[in-house]
Amino acid sequence: MRLLDSHCHLNMEEFAEDLELILRSAREARVERMLVAGFDEPSSGKALALAKAHPAEGVFAAVGIHPHDAKTCPPGGLPESFQDWAADPRVVAIGETGLDLHYNLSPREVQEESFRRHIALAERVRKPLVVHVRDAYDEAIGILRDEAAGRCTGVIHCFSGEWRHAAEALEMGFFLSFAGPLTFPRAAALREVAARVPEDRLLCETDSPYLAPQPYRGRRNQPAYVAAVYETLAEVRKVPLEILAGQVWRNAERLFGWGDGNV
């Protein structure tokens, strides 16, 4: 059985001290693919550097600017460096990008503009999007439709919306990735949504160092803990863990095109 973490931030300061140990723990937990998502220009460069340094551990990168950091986007476009980075074979997705109207750390119009530029870049380089949405599902789906993002598709990471949002994203060809919150006792509604997603559109992630699943809640999250998300997902969908793991593996391969890892 092989597991994967479709979204983590090994490019963050939190992992600077003990990255080798974290990668070893991931391997011991059978996590053989990790997508490290950038959230601003330096962290996107770091994600690519990690992917290049750790091909044997199955590390890949996504480059993007988080909606919180959208205000760091240069006026008139994405950072120049993104054009080259996006074309690198170790970069398998564009993001994270999206809309976060919960914290509103960047003005809404700025978030929207940055989101649209990411979609254009994804379409240009023909790579999928990694989309972050918080308290903005209707708005984010509106933008994806508007920009015809069904052409590049992608993943709604750490999905936390209602079924109607899931249905709209699925209709556009998007995948839904579930994270630690799926395991939280009070997340019954989210588990119901997760049970209904077609098996060929599911992904699992940690979003580490954030959102550690039960029973690690409150600790620094890490890719090895993704196993807890798989277990909950297998339970709510009433499928054996091995079957789910195989399906998620094939889904990620289809979306990210990372094949045997030697791209």
Cβ neighbours of residue 186 closer than 8 Å, sequence gap 6 or more: none
Rule CB under 5 A: which of 204-233 touch Zn ion?
Answer: 207
Residue 12 DSSP class: S
- Which stretch in 46-54, 119-127, 162-170, 203-211 sits in contact with Zn ion by CB under 5 A? 203-211
Please report how close the Cβ of residue 263 comes to Zn ion at its closest, in angstroms. 22
- Which stretch in 93-101, 147-155, 191-199, 217-225 sits in contact with Zn ion by CB under 5 A? 93-101
CA-CA distance, 169 to 155, in Å (whole number)?
9
| Complex with Zn ion: residue 149 or 234, whichever CB lies closer | 149
Please report how close the Cβ of residue 37 comes to Zn ion at its closest, in angstroms. 5
Cβ neighbours of residue 178 closer than 8 Å, sequence gap 6 or more: 158, 159, 190, 194, 202, 203, 204, 205, 229, 233
| Complex with Zn ion: residue 37 or 234, whichever CB lies closer | 37
| Complex with Zn ion: residue 67 or 234, whichever CB lies closer | 67
Residue 103 DSSP class: T
168's tokens: 């709209």
| Complex with Zn ion: residue 69 or 96, whichever CB lies closer | 96
One residue of 33, 68, 127, 132 binding Zn ion per CB under 5 A: 132
Please report how close the Cβ of residue 242 comes to Zn ion at its closest, in angstroms. 28
Q: Are strands 59-63 and 91-100 parallel, antiparallel or unpaired?
A: parallel
Whether residue 215 has a cis bond before it, omega within 30° of 0: yes
- Which stretch in 43-51, 80-88, 115-123, 201-209 sits in contact with Zn ion by CB under 5 A? 201-209
Closest CA to 97 of 83, 117, 80: 117
Please report how close the Cβ of residue 102 comes to Zn ion at its closest, in angstroms. 11
CA-CA distance, 215 to 84, in Å (whole number)?
41
> Which residue minimizes CB distance to Zn ion?
132
Total residues interacting with Zn ion, rule: CB under 5 A: 3
- Which stretch in 21-29, 91-99, 144-152, 217-225 sits in contact with Zn ion by CB under 5 A? 91-99
Torsion of CA 16, 13, 53, 32, to 10 degrees: 90
- Which stretch in 128-136, 139-147, 180-188, 224-232 sits in contact with Zn ion by CB under 5 A? 128-136
Q: Which residues are near Zn ion by CB under 5 A?
A: 96, 132, 207
